Structure 1
Amino acid sequence: MRVAMEATLPMATAAALAAVLLTPVHAGATAPPAAGDCSAGQLCLWEKPGFKGHRHVYELSGTDIESCVALPEGGSAQALANRTGRPVTAYQSAECAETGEFQTYPGSGTWAPQSPYQVRAFKIWER
């Protein structure tokens, strides 16, 4: 079987496939990079991809559940971490309008190093 694979795949493709297949998977693969620090119970949003730039931090104690929360005037985020324990929907629209892009992130510890759009508002859901 190995001979057949080598005969049908270009050498670069076979090498790339082997590298992927031989890369170990670590139990902590979902852990954030060091720059993506966000404490338990918090929603953290960074202005730049890769958890860089200014960080906005929100906690349940200071945020209305199921209400639209806009980032400060003119602010947006391109990376986020949800450690609230509740689902959070991030919106492209500052009014949480569903006519723009939006995505919900589980609250069990989700790190998104790059959003596919500028996040301008969010909602934390009851469950």
Structure 2
Amino acid sequence: MAQTAPTAQTAPAAAAAGTTLGACGPGRLCLWPKPDFKGRPWTYELATTDLDSCVALPAGASAQSLAVRTGRPVTAYQSAECAETGEFETYPGRGTWVPQTPYEVRAFKLWER
């Protein structure tokens, strides 16, 4: 049976589909350790996160759902070093919720634009 890749959802589409969105404040990137925004999230803000730099989650940690509310695109990486040899995906900012990432996210980059 072929699997299809999960798609990012905007707030209105997710609400219409009956998905409960994870709480993530404006201007933040939030990553949850489990699908469907479950578990205690890691949150990052533009004011305290370097743009265009690889930011690894805490050692041994990974995320399986995320919300991008930064207004900037975010690339999520399977590799803790942001290596492009593993899986990676770039998500648009300003209200993107992903209830199930296609791989475990171990690092990310916030982009200037």
* Residue in 1 that maps onto 2:3: none
Q: RMSD over aligned Cα, in angstroms? A: 1.5
Structure 2 gap ranges (5+): 1-10
Once the two structures are superposed, the pairs formed by residues 78-93 of structure 1 within 5 Å of their partners are 78-93=64-79
Answering whether residue 49 of structure 2 is matched by residue 76 of structure 1, we say no
Structure 1 gap ranges (5+): 1-26
Once the two structures are superposed, the pairs formed by residues 21-60 of structure 1 within 5 Å of their partners are 28-31=12-15, 33-34=20-21, 36-60=22-46
Matched residues, number: 100
* Residue in 2 that maps onto 1:4: none
- Equivalent pair of 2:14/2:20 in contact (CA under 8 Å): no
Q: Which runs of 4+ in 1 moved over 3 A?
A: none
* Residue in 2 that maps onto 1:99: 85
Q: CA separation in 2, counterparts of 1:110 and 1:122? A: 15
TM-score (norm 1): 0.75
Q: CA separation in 2, counterparts of 1:111 and 1:28? A: 10
Letter in 2 for 1:29: A
Once the two structures are superposed, the pairs formed by residues 88-127 of structure 1 within 5 Å of their partners are 88-127=74-113
Alignment match of 2:52 (pick from 66, 69, 83):
66
* Residue in 1 that maps onto 2:6: none
Q: What is the identity percentage for the equivalent residue pairs of Structure 1 and Structure 2?
A: 71
- Equivalent pair of 2:29/2:66 in contact (CA under 8 Å): yes
Q: Which has the larger radius of gyration?
A: 1
More helix per residue? 1
